[in-house]
Chains A and B, each alone.
Chain A
Amino acid sequence: MPSAAETLRRTALHDRHAAAGARLVPFAGWEMPVQYEGVRQEHLAVRRHAGVFDVSHMGEVETSGPDAEAFLQRLLSNDVTNLAEGGAQYSLLCREDGGVLDDLFTYRLPGAQPRFLTVTNASNHERDFAWLAEHAEGFDVTVTDAAERYAMLAVQGPEARAAVASLADGELPARMRTATLTVAGAECLICGTGYTGEDGVEVLVAPEQAAAVWDALLAAGVTPAGLAARDTLRLEACFHLYGNDLSLDRNPIEAGLGWACKLDTGFVGSEALRGFEPADALVPFAFTGPGIPRQGNPVRTEYGDGVVTSGTMSPCLEVGIGMAYVPAAAARPGTPIEVDVRGKPRAAEVRPKPLYKH
């Protein structure tokens, strides 16, 4: 097999992954650990104890200056004026037509000057940064590509907070809050956010100090977990994945993210969403018999056809699960649907969110 390693970017923890026996795969231009011991064990370690994911491929954009809040209010779908200092907020970045460019977490950093850090998906980072930079005209802001400044670790699971707290010099932030703390000797921005449906934190740290944090977490008993487990965990929790469940062809209302769209703020895309009556809805579903749904599988319902956007075998529920766009009339939990898995009709049922909860 030809080595693509020369053209793929490596995180600051690449050596640690190799040493831990990770299977490394190309992902959004990065060479990333997809699994270590195995996706099931890693998934269950996060559900029962604590796991750590290297998500340093994710990007960061820093927005600062007197107009930073007004600028982000114009670009992000949520109400940025509700984002307190030290807080975290989820939002969408939309085009004028409402198509989703990315889904993002934004943190309002402490300081005399307004300063925000927005975390981007790796595959969208350059497009997001370009979009933000080109819309900055007329605002007194500085938009900086800060991706090189940070490695990012997600520490997730019922024991995650205790593990991080044992290494930190202060109290961890509450859910949806941030704090700057020293962890294992490294200054870190700790965020009470995650993508697994478990309690935990995400840690932003200078790349050259990431290994010290990683090593300390492993020594504290945290299990290294790969992108495969990250995907099964987020799907059980019904969190969207850009490129699967979100795209330029779908708007946030169809995707069930209307709660993160505050139309009165006048953000780019809000006009297109005003009064929009979605024909389709993104719904979680679970198989009631054998099989595993996969992205792109056709869906049949009593009310018309749909398509699977994410699918996997749920390690906790031990059945095939997924998310699909279906006609809005078929979105009610309990509605029977049929998924065509490579020519085989598989029985499924629309379920409430999340698919799995403790």
Chain B
Amino acid sequence: MAAEYPEDLKYHPEHDWARIEGDVATFGITWYAQDALGEVVFYDPPEVGATVSKDQTYAEVESVKAVSDVFAPLSGEIVEVNGALTDAPEKINSDPYGDGWLVKVRLSDQSELETLLDVAAYRDLLA
């Protein structure tokens, strides 16, 4: 699978993405992050209702060999977690921007959006 970085997402330098829909954002990890980690075999989601803070870790994904912290690109309250990943964490590899989403968050500070990278800036970071 070739590297892919959708135009409509916002990116965090720790290789996380956010899809903004009004005051709710979906978070996940980027193609680069899942490729570096290898096959994800375990996802430990946070609790619905928990608070996440921008630039802080809120979950862990693990491959056979390594653990990777997942950083919140934005602050807010978790309103949904992707329960399907408990049985099929490999979706994080096969569809990192679709079925491999991690959490949905009700944003607490819209001004943080400005700090995120657009796809061109994120690609520059990877280059």
Chain A interfacial positions (CB closer than 8 Å to B): 23, 34-35, 38-40, 228, 231-232, 290-292, 294, 312-313, 315, 320, 342, 344
Contact = CB atoms under 8 A, between A and B. Distances in A.
A57 B38 CA distance: 23
B41 A292 contact: yes
Contacts of B86: 290
A228 B67 contact: no
Contacts of A34: 65
Interface residues of B, number: 12
B44 A40 contact: no
B42 interface: yes
B62 A313 contact: yes
Interface in B24-55: 38-39, 41-42, 44
Contacts of B42: 290-292, 313, 320
Interface of B: 38-39, 41-42, 44, 60, 62-65, 67, 86
B34 to A, nearest CB: 12
A320 B41 CA distance: 10
B62 A35 contact: no
Given A40-B64, A292-B67, 20 more contacts: A23-B38, A38-B39, A39-B39, A39-B64, A39-B65, A40-B41, A228-B38, A228-B65, A290-B42, A290-B44, A291-B42, A291-B44, A292-B41, A292-B42, A294-B67, A312-B65, A313-B62, A313-B64, A342-B60, A342-B67
A292 B60 CA distance: 11
Q: Which of B42, B44, B64 has the most CB of A within 10 A?
A: B64
Contacts of B44: 290-291, 344
Contacts of A291: 42, 44
A34 B62 CA distance: 16
13 contacts: A35-B38, A39-B39, A39-B63, A39-B65, A40-B41, A228-B38, A231-B65, A232-B64, A290-B44, A291-B42, A292-B67, A312-B64, A312-B65
Nearest to B90: A40
A38 B38 contact: yes
B87 to A, nearest CB: 10
A291 B44 CA distance: 8
Contact of A39 (B38, B60, B62, B67): B38
A34 B38 CA distance: 11
A34 B37 CA distance: 12
